[in-house]
Amino acid sequence: MTEHSTKEHSELAEDFIKDEDRVDWHDETLWFIRQKRDKAAHQLPEWEALREAASQIKNNVLSNLHDYLLQFERNAVANGIEVHWAADAAEHNQIVQRLLNEANVVRMVKSKSMLTEECGLNEYLAKQGIEVIDSDLGERIVQLAEEPPSHIVLPCIHKKKEEIGEIFHQHLGIEAGISDPQFLTETARQHLREIFLTRRAALTGVNFAVAETGEFVVCTNEGNADMGAHLADIHIASMGIEKLIPKKKHLGVFLRLLTRSATGQPITTYSSHFRTPRDGTKIHVILVDNGRTVQLGRKDFRNSLKCIRCAACMNTCPVYRRSGGHSYHTAVAGPIGSILAPNLDMEKYADLPFASTLCGSCSNVCPVKIDIHEQLYKWRQVLVKNGYTPKAKKAGMQVMTWTLSSPSLYQAAGKVGRWVIKYAPFAVNNKLNPWHKQRDMPESPEWSFNVWYKQNRKNDEQ
Amino acid sequence: MSSRENILAAVKVNQPERVPLPDISIFETGTKGSLQKFAAVLAGVGGKTDYVSDYEEIVRIIKAQYGCDVRIVSPLRELQELSHENLEDLALIHDLRDVEVAILNAHFAVAENGAVWITENEMRHRVLPFVTQHLAVIIKEGDIVPTMHHAYNLINTNTCGFGTFIAGPSKTADIEQSLVIGAHGPRSMTVFVIKDTNHDEGSSL
């Protein structure tokens, strides 16, 4: 579900931070998950070696993707899986629609797939008269609320339990005022059990696909992907072409890293390996490009395709934690989303690489060692060079260029600044100054460094 | 050109120069997984380990825990006392919807993450370990490996159509990060570890 907003990250973040208690809660909750990640990682002395191995395996995948794709296709077909190729989101959605039409299916159950969010599949199928029900609890909640997920692992992390109780009251018929997570989860369990048992088609994402064996792996804690797929006649698995790994034994490396990085768990409850369809049923795999081959050709940004969607970079990001996933207005939020999205549409997502402090925490926790903060920095340069600068930044940067290029102007500006903060603070402590939002202006120093240096230099010489 | 050809051509042009795969055999240290570690990790993810001497003990425990009035299924001949149902006779897999307890063999367990590996040969029906309200799994004490690297060494040549690692009951923390056990799959998971009488015959693999 991609949000069609024309607002920039900073404007959307402003909506989110209006409720200070909620922001604090969001911030602390995600930081708590980051701490759980640290605890899990520190239990393995070989953690850093595992990250390095995962990074190298993914580098190899990107460098040999052509052959791995062919190898995967060959083996999957030999296993009885039907393989489809989609150049973009539209083609992916049309393939899903065609497969459902051919089977006379108008109701489908879906487990979590960020790719289908990227492709806007639910909205597309709804327009064609096909109903899709999301079965991951968090995704079902945001689907009922008619919102996109705000986090790729925890889709409704922005919602409070009271709000979820209200959503279930309106849509699932429970009494008003219930907010007990146990009760709400049980309600969803009963509701979705009926869905699993009555849907003939199930769509899942793919965490890893193995070139060597033509199988693919889907990881969940809830068991929703398996409930959907094993009860349906048709299982459609959608995957980006970068999800391939060379050999089955490499799953050992990635499954050790994935959930430890994501939630601090040692592994997901279910890591299911699909090799052949059940008797009398079909498995379709859709290999989706949608900009990935372009990103593969961008030397500075191709590393972003190594991502295994653990969300560790979001949980640790000081900007994500305080601005919420929806402020990124793209399917994959946070630092990794901010380097993936501009590849799809530079103009629409020009603001995202600027939604970062470049502190580098994202790169430090990334299980496949993507240089996320460096790519954010490089995207800024590419975007400015191509004329896609966020509007507020542009005006400020022009004034700054003008000031910094002239020493006398710079000194005069410093003097004025110090004088204003000292004698006329109201001139900057107002809402016209974006720096004043959520913070106080600093106290003005008595002198500039230049004045201080001249003075001290004189003292030294004496 | 079809999308397939277009994508493959674009990948070929854009993929960087070939880099080698790393050696991951360095991660396979040790050979035997610890039962204590497995039990502790499984408990940490909401599962339970029962150390038993034989199948009769499993029958006693299951009977004591669930009684005789609920639907218990198992393809294991050793557990016929608990379930006479022939899973091959099922008209429709959806008929498994009211199974209360399913008891299945697993190939082995993984100490580092509390997972067991089960394939569709042991499940009979792929949906069974997910649709059942409670899942019980049986392994032999000698069949615990230390890490996932050892696990994949064992299943590398396995060509079953479907297999899964299961670590604990189904769960979610999607509502305000509160952990709730029993999302869509089983509400509990018990792993019966059968004591080894002779360690040399430990592995059934």
Interface of A with B in 156-175 (CB under 8 A): 156-157, 159-161, 164
Contact between chains at A276 and B27 (C-beta distance less than 8 A): no
| B171 to A221: CB separation less than 8 angstroms, yes or no | yes
CA distance A365 to A166: 36
B126, A230 in Cβ contact below 8 A?
yes
Cα–Cα distance measured from residue A170 to residue A147, given in angstroms and rounded to the nearest whole number = 15
CA B56 to the chain's CA centroid: 22
Phi, psi (rounded to 5 degrees) for B99: -65, 130
Q: The tokens of A221 are what?
A: 């804690």
Q: Answer yes or no: is pLDDT of B201 > 50.
A: no
Residues 6+ apart with CB under 8 A from A100: A106, A108, A125, A130, A201, A234
* β-pair partners for B191: B49, B137
ipTM of the prediction: 0.95
Identify whether the C-beta of residue B141 lies closer than 8 Å to the C-beta of residue A146. no
* pLDDT tens-digit map of A82-119: 999 999 999 999 999 999 999 999 999 999 999 999 99
Res. A238: pLDDT tops 90: yes
Residues of chain A with pLDDT > 90: what percent?
82
What was the pLDDT predicted at B159? 80
Instruction: For residue B166, give the nearest of A270, A253, A5 by alpha carbon.
Output: A270
Smallest Cβ distance to B131: which of A63, A86, A227? Answer: A227
Residue A98 CB coordination number (10 Å)? 11
Q: What is the pLDDT of residues A339-393, one digit of tens each?
A: 999 999 999 999 999 999 999 999 999 999 999 999 999 999 999 999 997 766 7
What pLDDT score does B184 carry? 97
d(CA A230, CA B125): 8
Tell which of A163, A230, A369 to mutate to test the B interface (max B CBs under 10 Å): A230
The interface residues of chain A toward chain B in range 410-449, judged by CB-CB distance below 8 A, are none
Q: From the list B10, B112, B171, which residue is nearest A269 (CB)?
A: B171
Structure tokens at B133: 């309200």
CA distance B197 to chain A (A): 30
pLDDT band at residue A436, thresholds of 50, 70 and 90? low
- Which of A265, A301, A258, A243 has its CA nearest to residue A114? A243
Interior angle at CA B170, CA B167 and CA B175, nearest 5: 125
Task: Please provide the average confidence, as pLDDT, over all residues in chain A.
Answer: 93
Alpha-carbon gap, residue B146 to A346, rounded angstroms: 47
Name the residue facing A62 among B15, B160, B169 (closest C-beta).
B15
* Kind plus residue range of the DSSP H or E element containing A297: helix A292-297
Q: According to the model, what pLDDT value does residue A435 have?
A: 67
Query: A213-225, pLDDT tens digit by residue?
Result: 999 999 999 999 9
Q: Which two tokens stand for residue A199?
A: 């849907």
Q: Could you say which of A70, A255, A277 has the minimum Cβ distance to residue B148?
A: A255
Query: Looking at residues A234-256, what average pLDDT do you find?
Result: 98
The span from the CA of A325 to the CA of A333, in Å, is: 5
Question: Please, which residues 279-318 of chain A have a Cβ atom closer than 8 Å to chain B?
Answer: 287, 289, 293-294, 296-297, 299, 302
> Is the confidence at residue A3, as pLDDT, over 60?
no
| A87 contacts on B by Cβ (under 8 Å) | 3, 6-7
Q: Judge whether residue B156 has pLDDT over 90.
A: no
CA B173/CA A141 separation, integer angstroms? 13
Distance from CA of B114 to the nearest CA of A (A): 8
Q: What percent of chain A has pLDDT over 70?
A: 96
A41 and B CB contact within 8 Å:
no
CA-based end-to-end distance of chain B: 48
- In this predicted structure, what is the pLDDT of residue B199? 54
Mutate to test the interface with A, among B150, B176, B187, B189 (most CBs of A within 10 A): B176
pLDDT at res. A444:
79
> Among A184, A263, A266, whose Cβ lies nearest the Cβ of B112?
A266
Quick check: A223 and B186 CB within 8 A?
Answer: yes
Would the CB atoms of A226 and B8 count as touching at under 8 Å?
A: no
- C-alpha span between A407 and A413 (Å, rounded): 10
Contacts of B193 (CB under 8 A, 6+ apart): B35, B39, B49, B50, B51, B52, B109, B139, B140, B141, B144
Q: Is B12 on the interface with A (CB under 8 A)?
A: yes
Above 50 in pLDDT, residue B138?
Answer: yes
Contact B49, B39 (CB under 8 A): yes
Whole-number Cα distances in Å, B3 to A86, A220, A292, B6, B83 = 6, 31, 13, 5, 52
Closest partner residue to B15 (CB to CB) among A65, A135, A137 is A65
Distance CA(B165)–CA(B108), nearest Å, equals 10
Q: What is the mean pLDDT of residues B72-89?
A: 92
Q: By the CB < 8 Å criterion, does B40 face chain A? A: no
Cα distance from B79 to chain A (closest Cα, Å)?
Answer: 25
Show the domains of chain B with their CATH numbers. 32-196 (3.40.50.10420)
Q: Where are the alpha helices (DSSP H) in A149-237?
A: 161-171, 181-198, 224-231
Tokens of A295: 């990103």
Mean pLDDT of the region A17-24 = 93
What is residue B205's predicted lDDT score, i.e. its pLDDT? 40
Measured between CA atoms, the residue of chain B closest to residue A187 is B183
Residue A123 has pLDDT above 80, yes or no: yes
Tokens at A22, concatenated: 């909620």
d(CA A385, CA B42): 53
Question: According to the model, what pLDDT value does residue A158 have?
Answer: 95
In the sheet with B134-140, reading across from the earlier edge strand, the strands are: B48-52, B188-194, B134-140, B101-105, B72-73
Q: How many CA atoms lie within 13 A of A202 on its CB side?
A: 28
Chain CA centroid to CA A36, Å:
19
Domains of chain A: 1-20+311-365+378-401 (no CATH), 21-293 (3.40.50.10420), 406-461 (no CATH)
Cβ contact, residue pair B152, A53, below 8 Å: no
Interface of B with A in 164-193 (CB under 8 A): 164-178, 180, 182-186
Q: What is the pLDDT of residue A414?
A: 80
The reply to whether A258 touches chain B by the CB within 8 Å rule is no
B88 CB within 8 Å of a chain A CB:
no
Using one digit for the tens of pLDDT, what is the confidence trace for B12-22?
Answer: 999 999 999 99
Contacting residues for A318 by C-beta, under 8 A, at least 6 apart? A357, A359, A361
Listed in sequence order, the residues at least 6 apart from A67 whose beta carbon sits closer than 8 Å to its beta carbon are none
Hey, are the CB atoms on B14 and A185 less than 8 Å from each other?
no
Placement of tokens 């088609």 in the chain: A201
Portion 356-415 of A in contact with B at CB < 8 A: none
Contact residues on chain B for A231, CB-CB shorter than 8 A: 93-94, 127, 131
From residue B27, alpha-carbon distances to A209, A256, B63 in Å are: 22, 11, 42
Q: Minimum mean pLDDT among A173-187, A388-402, A448-462, B72-86: which range?
A: A388-402
Q: What local confidence, expressed as pLDDT, does residue B80 receive?
A: 93
Q: Decide: helix, strand or coil at residue B46.
A: coil
Q: Per residue in A155-198, pLDDT tens?
A: 999 999 999 999 999 999 999 999 999 999 999 999 999 999 99
Identify the pLDDT of residue B202. Answer: 43
Residues 62-91 of A with CB under 8 A from B: 62-66, 69-70, 79, 85-87, 91
- The nearest CA of chain A is from the CA of B49 a distance in Å of 16
Q: How far apart are CA A155 and CA A138, in angstroms?
A: 5
Residues 6+ apart with CB under 8 A from A11: none
Read off the pLDDT of each residue in A60-74 and give the average, rounded to a whole number. 98
The SS3 of residue B102 is strand
Is residue A292 very low, low, confident or very high in pLDDT (cuts 50, 70, 90)?
A: very high
pLDDT digits (tens, 9 = 90+) for B94-112: 999 999 999 999 999 999 9
The pLDDT of B147-175, averaged and rounded, is 94
Q: What angle do CA B30, A251, B178 make, to 5 degrees?
A: 95
**What is the pLDDT at residue B198?**
66
pTM: 0.92
Bridging pattern class, strands B108-110 and B101-105 = unpaired
Distance of alpha carbon B183 from alpha carbon A165, whole angstroms: 17
